[in-house]
Homo-oligomer: A and B are copies of this chain.
Amino acid sequence: MNKTEPRTLAGFMELLPNEQILFNQMKETIEKTYQKFGFLPLDTPNIELSEVLLAKAGGETEKQIYRFTKGETDLSLRFDLTVPLSKYVAKNYGNLSFPFRRYQIGKVYRGEKTQKGRFREFYQCDIDIIGDGELETIHDAELPSIIYTIFKELGFDSFTICINNRKILNGLFESLGQKENAVEILRIIDKIDKIGKEAIIEELTKLKIKDTEIEKIISFIEIDGTSHEKIRELENLGIENEIYVKGVEELKQVIKNIELFGVPDSNFKVDLTIARGLDYYTGTVYETFLNDYRELGSVCSGGRYENLAEYYTDKKLPGVGISIGLTRLFYKLNELNLIKAKQKSISQVLIIPMIEDLEKPITLATQLRKLGIKTEVYLNNKKLKAKFKYADKLKIPYVIVIGEDEIATHTVNIKNMATGEEKKVKLSASEIIKEIK
């Protein structure tokens, strides 16, 4: 028979089992944390009508869409989880309770240029809190505590949640008479970490912004100090623009309340350069950095938006949300060997029978499973050495061999595969559990 070469598309992650276990543990940590804060699960189709999915999209996004027809129907694969959420909330408005707190963890698709660490299919892990008509600012302070909990649970201590408020920037530009350039200016100053101050000035000059105004923008970006000091400086800049004042007040509230939510001072700060590329956000914005690995970029971002679903409904649905790009994050952390495994295997125990009659080994496995221990029986006919090699490769922590002797004496040796130690116990599930727990 002619063979087809088995291969996986470039830009599509496919892991070996040991890595998949690590990936799933990260995913589970994120999901469990979202649940701990009372977010409801959501699962929307990967495919939507193009007309619905692309109601808003345009520019770069639209070019990357996986779009195709099936029969007569124009379909697209989702490119994020926000548009499906918008559709969902608009569609099910009458059946939802507000504030609607939902999490969604799922694959999204973007036909980006393939390069190392860039994926065309990747998991996003999103939460959003959607209000019906209004949503109190206090929610903006809750999300950093969720980011904090997740990265602590993932084993990190040194990370910073950077917080800003888009109204401050928008108000500033308005006060400088640069309102119509706001989106463009934001896009430029968002790049300060990447391209530096001189390049920023150069790009702003190209926009025909006066030198005096550029100076103000730069000195604004350069406001320094603790979060509280920065807020004081913002208040003391003497800008009376209404939007600016509101933004500073919101930021002050959020910073105050973050402390209430138990995030330590060392894990968040006001960062006035954070704008988020999208013109979607209208208030608080977040980016999160691993301090020792700034080169990874933001590992969790999001913010407050005025109106989730304006393309589908007249209802005003303000919200605040964050997103973790899990596939890329996993790839980078794995490359840097930074993933702390809670467990490296699925099975906790491998039982190796060395007898014809499998009753005892299989019964023991059934009992261990009933007591909550993930247990596997090696059932293929191989030499003992090969069976141990199997346990070793799968990183199964405990191995129990059952042969004639073990059955005659009603005892077994539990071998700890990490230390090589063996411990003799009674051939009984409850005795074995005591040793491996």
Interface residues of A (CB under 8 A from B): 1, 3-9, 12-17, 20-21, 23-24, 35-49, 51-52, 55, 66, 68-71, 73, 75, 86-88, 90-92, 95-99, 101-102, 107, 109, 111, 121, 131, 134-136, 138-139, 142, 145, 149, 257, 260-262, 309-314, 346-347, 350, 358-359, 362-363, 366, 369, 374-377, 379-381, 389-390, 393-394, 396
Contacts and interface: CB of A to CB of B under 8 A. Distances in A.
A16 B92 contact: yes
B379 A38 contact: no
28 contacts: A4-B51, A4-B55, A6-B312, A7-B49, A9-B48, A9-B49, A9-B73, A12-B45, A14-B88, A16-B95, A17-B102, A20-B41, A35-B374, A37-B369, A37-B374, A38-B347, A38-B396, A40-B394, A46-B107, A47-B66, A66-B68, A97-B389, A138-B358, A149-B369, A257-B358, A260-B358, A260-B362, A261-B366
A91 B7 contact: yes
Given A4-B55, A40-B394, 5 more contacts: A6-B91, A6-B313, A21-B41, A23-B43, A66-B68
Contact of A312 (B3, B38, B102, B311): B3
Given A261-B362, A262-B363, A381 B40 contact: no
A24 B207 CA distance: 51
B17 A41 contact: yes
Contact of A379 (B44, B99, B362): B99
A35 B346 contact: yes
Q: Interface centre among A102, A138, A139, by most B CB within 10 Å?
A: A138
A215 to B, nearest CB: 38
A87 B6 contact: yes
